[in-house]
């Protein structure tokens, strides 16, 4: 016989003010199978949990219903309490009478009635719960980090330094990511390359790290502890094993006028190239679409030039299959295409550039060797206008969110400019200055006070060219009047947006993404590093706009999570998985087709002499994620989902 304990939580006043808990307790006490029903101010508190535990022991309870908050909040808390009192943790249900009742209703009698019905329904469910036991699966203690920017590099190094193997996959020819494009970093004005390059070298030389550049993840199968990843190693046409990185081929390549992606088009590269001088690995790739040899079969100067015969035009893409136990997704961001702001003239006027362009102009290794020269004519600009939120926080044309880094880098740009062009004049159009962070507000103050950055609160409505100047027309909200600035160059603080293929990639790897395409964390506050897919973690700006210190912190956090996972050879998984009834399965394999995880296979049932009696479906407990799609497909009800069985749900509905 069921002996159910029901614990009605007041949640302070959160529940008790809208639900008549005394009435609830009285009603529930009369429900068949309820052994004890009590109420308390905070069942999630230590004494509250003690009450639950004592009741379990004293009344030999077979099931527990806590009528309180959402199971998404405290299911784990009370499962643990049950386990500590000797009751299987899965013999627990939470009746959500807070988020879905007391907080959303305004009539006490209605809310009370609803709370009673919710609780009854879950009592009937819990009566049919089964004791479940965690599933143990082996862990491949090797991690994959996808994306070789600063976040990926940090995660890879942390994991590798703790003694675990890491495979770092980067789709560009070199690791380094956006950070390698940046000139100096706020708030310290360290040279970005100077602090990044040693990390890049350390990564590629680390005995525990395998770096796969110019490679892309094509397929991810498996589950936490046991992923199988197919990685396409794109043909470089240069042999990694032998190339010394001398650069002779790059020098001799006749196709030189290709706008460099790394330089944001401000400089050129050749058809055989490394994206930048400090590239790691320092092995060039041939851009097949531009190479004369691939175009018409002639040229091959690089091959003739190479003294160690490292050019291989016959190279093919190869697919490598890699087994890993955990994955860090650190695929980074893109800057928004600002040409959508027609009024700013980006794309029309050469001297309207993005912040990233400015980084290249300011970078000592950039196309101007660090001198601020405007793109149109190479002259030093005397007046530079910076426009913040050129895309961010703009519901109508841009994105709704704040890109977080623009206030800081714009201040930095103004500072760098004033350092390089001493009599230059800056105007910064801004909405707010968001400078929360260690040393950040001090940094912006310094820009204003020491480097005379000219902050103008207001929006720019139009930019047009007049007599070789860019006329920036806007409004100064503080003064309440229109302003017009004749600028030589305009720098747009563009929005950080997800990689254009982020959603496709999310589907490949099986994680969620938000309305913009940033990847979803399992819980924004409490599980910001995990994804909803166990074993896959996030680092850096692929999750949301981040600066370097935030990206690095998250990368280390992801590494810590993975090292925790790798601390044991086996891990325990939630036992919410499907099971097949062998006697009734007709072997139509509809469930096999429907399963999103390929977790269902065929199994032969033989008699004692080994003769085949029948073939039935069989669920791989390691692969099953417990969605239950198979259960609803099965016409004969021959497959069921632990924790959400047909019996449980039937009982829940029939109690409503």
Partner 1 sequence: MGIQEQYISEAAGLLSSGAVKLVIGYSEGSTTDRRRPVFVRTPAEAERLMLDGACVANLSTYLLSEGLLSDGKSVAVFLKPDGIRSINILAAEAQLNPEQLVIFGFDIQNGQARPLQGRKISDFTPIVEAARAAGLSPELQGEAERLEHISAAERFEYWKEQFSKCIKCYACRQVCPMCYCRRCIVDVNQPQWVNTSSHTLGNFEWNIVRAFHLAGRCVACGGCDRSCPVNIPLRLINHRMAKEVLDAFDYYAGESTDQKPVLATFRPDDPETFIL
Partner 2 sequence: MSEPFEPKIVAFVCTYCTYAGADLAGTSRMKYASNVRMVRLPCTGRISPMFILKALQKGADGVLVSGCHPGDCHFAQGNYHARRRWTVFRALLAFTGIPEQRIRFSWISAAEGAKFADLINTLTEDIRKLGPFDQYHELQKVIETQATY
Partner 3 sequence: MTRILLKNKLDDCIAAWRSAGFSVLAPVRRSDLSRFDEVERSADMALDLVLTERTIKDHFFPQTEPLVKYRIKKHDIDSQEMLPPDRKRVFFGVRPCDASGLAIDDPLFGWDYRDEYWFKRRDNAVIVTIACTASDDFCMCTSVNLAPDSTKGSDVILRPLQNGNGWLVEALSDRGNALLEPIASILQEGSESPAPSASVPVRFDVEKVMEWLADPASFESHFWKDISVRCIGCGSCTFLCPTCHCFDIQDEGDTYTGIRRKNWDSCSFPMFTMHTSGHNPRNTQSTRWRQRIMHKFNYYRGKFGVNSCSGCGRCTRQCPVDMGITETLQAITNLPK
Q: Residue numbers of the site for partner 2 (CB under 8 A)?
A: 70-73, 96, 98-101, 103-107, 110-111, 113-114, 117-118, 121, 503, 507, 510, 512-515, 532, 576, 594, 596-597, 625-629, 631-633, 641, 643-644, 646, 649-650, 652-654, 656
Which of the residues 568 through 587 are near partner 1 (CB under 8 A)?
583-587
Point out which span in 90-98, 274-282, 546-554, 591-599 binds partner 1 (CB under 8 A): 591-599
Residue 30 binds which entry of partner 3, partner 2, partner 1, none, CB below 5-8 Å type-dependent = partner 3
- Looking at 12, 32, 259, 564, which residue binds partner 3 (CB under 8 A)? 32
6 binds partner 3 (CB under 8 A): no
At residue 417, φ and ψ (nearest 5 deg) are: -60, -45
Is 265 near partner 1 (CB under 8 A)? no
Note whether 654 binds partner 3 by CB under 8 A: yes
Question: Binding partner of residue 99 among partner 3, partner 2, partner 1, none, CB under 5 to 8 Å per kind?
Answer: partner 2
Distance between first and last Cα of the chain: 22
Cβ 97 to partner 2, closest distance in Å? 10
Shortest distance (Å) from residue 93 CB to partner 3: 15
By the rule CB under 8 A, 644 interacts with partner 1 = no
Regarding 1 and contact with partner 3 (CB under 8 A), the answer is: no
Please identify, using beta-carbon distances, which residue of 508 and 588 lies nearer to partner 1.
588
d(CA 19, CA 23): 9
By a kind-dependent CB cut-off of 5 to 8 A, residue 331 interacts, out of partner 3, partner 2, partner 1, none, with none
Give 36-50 as a 3 state SS string: EEEEECCCCCHHHHH
Find the binding residues for partner 3 in span 34-93 (CB under 8 A). Answer: 34
Q: How many CB atoms lie within 10 A of CB 635?
A: 8
Q: What token pair was written down for 46?
A: 């230590």
State CA 397 to chain mean position distance. 24
Q: Which is nearer to partner 2, 416 or 591 (CB)?
A: 591
Size of the site for partner 3 (CB under 8 A): 10
Q: What contacts 321, CB < 8 A, 6 or more positions away?
A: 228, 229, 230, 231
Q: Is 646 in the site for partner 1 (CB under 8 A)?
A: yes
Q: Which two tokens stand for residue 469?
A: 């100047």
Residue 336 or 645: which CB sits closer to partner 1?
645
C-alpha 520: how far from chain center = 6
> Sign of the CA dihedral 517, 518, 524, 526?
positive
Binding to partner 3 by CB under 8 A, coded x per residue (else -) over 540-579, reads ----------------------------------------
Q: CA-CA distance, 593 to 149, in Å (whole number)?
A: 38
Stretch that binds partner 3, among 27-35, 291-299, 533-541, 610-618 (CB under 8 A): 27-35
Tokens of 383: 């007046």
How many helices, marked H, and strands, marked E, lie in the chain? 17, 34
Using CA atoms, how far apart are residues 622 and 43, in angstroms rounded to an integer? 34
Nearer to partner 2, 533 or 556 (CB): 533
CA 500, chain centre distance (Å): 14
> Contacts with partner 1 in 192-221 (CB under 8 A)?
none
- Comparing CB distances to partner 1, the nearer of 459 and 647 is 647
* Separation between Cα atoms, residue 24 and residue 282, nearest integer Å: 71
Taking the least distance from each CB to partner 3, the nearer of 467 and 583 is: 583
Token pair, residue 326, equals: 């955990």
State residue 296 phi and psi, 5-degree precision.
-135, 10
CB of 88 to partner 1, least distance (A): 21
Distance of alpha carbon 642 from alpha carbon 45, whole angstroms = 29
Residue 381 contacts residue 489 (beta carbons within 8 Å)? yes
CA angle 633, 510, 70 (to 5 degrees): 75
Pair of tokens at residue 246: 């001398």
- Binding-site partner at residue 124 among partner 2, partner 1, partner 3, none, CB < 5 to 8 Å by type: partner 3
Q: Find out whether 587 and 580 touch, Cβ atoms under 8 Å.
A: no
Q: 125 or 434, CB closer to partner 3?
A: 125
Q: CA nearest 648: which of 156, 130, 267, 85?
A: 130
Q: How far is the CB of 595 from partner 1 (least distance, A)?
A: 9
DSSP lists the bridge partners of residue 362 as: none
d(CA 32, CA 650): 17
What whole-number distance in Å separates Cα of residue 258 and Cα of residue 493? Answer: 26
x-or-dash pattern for partner 3, window 89-128, by CB under 8 A?
-------------------------------x---x----
Q: Say if CB 430 and CB 389 are below 8 A apart.
A: yes
Looking at the Cβ atoms of 153 and 631, the one nearer to partner 1 is: 631
Which is closer to partner 1, CB of 251 or CB of 637? 637
Query: What is the distance between the alpha carbons of residues 265 and 366, in angstroms, rounded to a whole number?
Result: 11
> According to CB under 8 A, which one of 583, 611, 612, 635 is a site residue for partner 3?
583
**How far apart are CB 607 and partner 1 at their closest, in Å?**
13
The pair of structure tokens assigned to 35 is: 């052994």
Choosing from 137, 421, 649, 655, the residue that interacts with partner 3 (CB under 8 A) is 655
- The entry of partner 3, partner 1, partner 2, none that residue 106 binds, CB within 5 to 8 Å by partner kind: partner 2
Question: Under the rule (CB under 8 A), what is the footprint of partner 1?
Answer: 583-591, 593-594, 615, 633, 635-638, 646-647, 650-651
Where do contacts with partner 3 occur on this chain (CB under 8 A)? 30-32, 34, 120, 124, 583, 651, 654-655
């Amino acid at each position: 016989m069921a002996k159910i304990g029901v614990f009605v939580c007041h949640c302070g006043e959160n529940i008790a003010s809208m639900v008549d808990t005394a009435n609830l307790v009285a009603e529930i006490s009369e429900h068949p199978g309820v052994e004890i029903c009590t109420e308390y101010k905070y069942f999630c508190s230590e004494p509250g949990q003690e009450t639950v535990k004592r009741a379990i022991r004293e009344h030999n309870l077979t099931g527990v219903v806590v009528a309180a908050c959402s199971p998404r909040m405290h299911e784990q808390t009370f499962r643990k309490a049950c386990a500590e009192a000797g009751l299987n943790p899965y013999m627990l249900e939470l009746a959500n009478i807070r988020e879905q009742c007391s907080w959303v209703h305004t009539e006490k009698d209605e809310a009370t009635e609803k709370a009673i019905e919710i609780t009854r329904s879950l009592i009937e469910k819990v009566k049919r719960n089964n004791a479940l036991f965690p599933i143990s699966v082996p862990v491949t203690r090797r991690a994959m980090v996808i994306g070789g920017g600063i976040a990926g590099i940090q995660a890879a190094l942390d994991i590798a330094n703790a003694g675990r193997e890491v495979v770092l996959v980067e789709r560009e020819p070199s690791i380094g990511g956006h950070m390698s494009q940046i000139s100096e970093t706020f708030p310290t004005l360290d040279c970005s390359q100077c602090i990044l390059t040693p990390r890049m070298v350390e990564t590629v030389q680390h005995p525990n790290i395998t770096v796969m550049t110019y490679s892309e993840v094509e397929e991810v199968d498996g589950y936490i502890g046991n992923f199988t990843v197919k990685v396409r190693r794109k043909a470089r046409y240069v042999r990694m094993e032998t190339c010394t990185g001398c650069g002779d081929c790059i020098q001799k390549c006749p196709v030189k006028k290709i706008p460099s992606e790394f330089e944001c088009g401000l400089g050129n590269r050749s058809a055989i190239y490394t994206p930048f001088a400090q590239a790691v690995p320092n092995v060039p790739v041939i851009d097949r679409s531009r190479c004369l040899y691939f175009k018409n079969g002639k040229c091959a100067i690089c091959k003739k030039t190479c003294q160690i015969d490292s050019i291989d035009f016959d190279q093919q893409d190869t697919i490598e299959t890699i087994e890993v136990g955990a994955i860090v997704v650190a695929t980074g961001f893109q800057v928004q295409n600002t040409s959508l702001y027609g009024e700013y003239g980006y794309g029309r006027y050469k001297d309207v550039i993005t912040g990233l362009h400015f980084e290249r102009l300011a970078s000592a290794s950039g196309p101007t060797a660090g001198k601020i020269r405007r793109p149109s004519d190479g002259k030093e600009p005397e007046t530079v206008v910076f426009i913040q939120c050129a895309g961010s926080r703009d519901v109508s044309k841009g994105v709704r969110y704040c890109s977080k880094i623009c206030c800081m880098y714009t201040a930095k740009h103004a500072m760098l400019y004033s350092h390089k062009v001493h009599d230059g004049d800056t105007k910064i159009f801004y909405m707010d200055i968001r400078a929360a962070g260690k040393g950040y507000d001090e940094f912006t103050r310094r820009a204003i006070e020491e480097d005379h950055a000219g902050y103008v609160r207001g929006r720019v409505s139009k930019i047009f060219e007049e007599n070789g100047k860019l006329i920036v027309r806007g409004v100064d909200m503080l003064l309440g009047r229109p302003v017009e600035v004749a600028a030589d160059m305009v720098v747009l603080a563009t929005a950080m947006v997800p990689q254009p293929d982020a959603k496709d990639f999310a589907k490949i790897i099986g994680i969620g993404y938000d309305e913009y395409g940033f990847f979803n964390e399992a819980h924004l506050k409490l599980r910001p590093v995990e994804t909803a897919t166990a074993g896959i973690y996030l680092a850096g700006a692929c999750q949301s706009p981040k600066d370097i210190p935030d990206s690095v912190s998250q990368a280390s956090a992801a590494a810590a999570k993975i090292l925790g996972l790798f601390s044991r050879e086996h891990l325990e998984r939630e036992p919410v998985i499907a099971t097949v009834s062998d006697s009734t399965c007709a072997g139509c394999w509809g469930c096999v087709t429907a399963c999103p995880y390929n977790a269902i296979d065929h199994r032969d049932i033989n008699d004692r002499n080994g003769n085949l009696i029948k073939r039935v479906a069989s669920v791989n407990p390691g692969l099953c994620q417990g969605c239950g799609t198979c259960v609803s497909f099965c016409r004969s009800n021959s497959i069921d989902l632990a924790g959400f069985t047909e019996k449980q749900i039937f009982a829940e509905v029939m109690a409503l």
